[in-house]
Amino acid sequence: MSTARPGTERPREPNLVLIGFMATGKSTIGRLCARALGFRFRDSDTLIQRRAGRLIPEIFAEEGEAAFRTREAEALQDLARGHHLVIATGGGAVMNAVNVARLRRTGVVILLRAAPEEILMRVGNRQSRPLLADAPDPLARIETLLLQREPYYHAAAHAVVETTGLSREEAAERVLEAYHAEAERWRWTGGASRKEKEDGETA
């Protein structure tokens, strides 16, 4: 029988949330981390596609980016309510402050980074990437988008892991190290900050 006083119980393990640009390894590394932690893996883009019955490029083409972002926010809201999850987010998810508040309320957010040249190499078929599909100079497009998004990525993240030149196993190991360090702080503070909890609950 627990002798802890009401309100003093240690918070549960936080989710692990992976953010970052496309092709930085969020899904691949996320699955490895989920297996190591005994968590379930969830990908927000996969959830969006399943609910819409269409692929991401089709949603962009038929409904536009604004409609996709609305679908994304709804998916992330539901995922953030889950427990013991590794959540891989879309590259632009953190441009919405409400998404960030929801994710940080119940999870440790880790940014995966990679050099623009490595991102381009990893992307492969650009037609599956709506923001690159029609770019005459895809590397320049990646660099421009990174420049726009980096401040949002860093503001949202509890920790950063550079994946350039690493194998997926090496990157996952570094993510897990960062997660455990940040999760310890997360537990000592009772989870997210009061403001983040309020923002996440009212969003």
Q: Is residue 6 part of a domain?
A: no
Start-to-end Cα distance in the chain: 37
We report the CATH number of the domain holding residue 57 as 3.40.50.300
Across 48-52, 83-87, 123-127, 140-144, least confident range: 123-127
Listed in sequence order, the residues at least 6 apart from 67 whose beta carbon sits closer than 8 Å to its beta carbon are 59
Q: So what's the pLDDT on residue 188?
A: 64
Residue 200 has pLDDT above 50, yes or no: no
Residue 141 has pLDDT above 70, yes or no: yes
- What confidence category does residue 195 fall into, taking pLDDT thresholds of 50, 70 and 90? very low
Q: Is residue 202 part of a domain?
A: no
Q: Quote the number of domains for the chain.
A: 1
Q: In Å, what is the CA distance from 23 to each residue of 10, 134, 161, 183, 187?
A: 36, 17, 14, 25, 31
Q: What mean pLDDT do residues 79-92 have?
A: 96
Q: Is residue 31 part of a domain?
A: yes
Q: Is residue 88 part of a domain?
A: yes
Q: What mean pLDDT do residues 128-139 have?
A: 75
- What confidence category does residue 189 fall into, taking pLDDT thresholds of 50, 70 and 90? low
β-sheet bridge partners, residue 17 = 87, 109
Q: So what's the pLDDT on residue 58?
A: 93
Q: What mean pLDDT do residues 159-184 have?
A: 96
- What confidence category does residue 28 fall into, taking pLDDT thresholds of 50, 70 and 90? very high
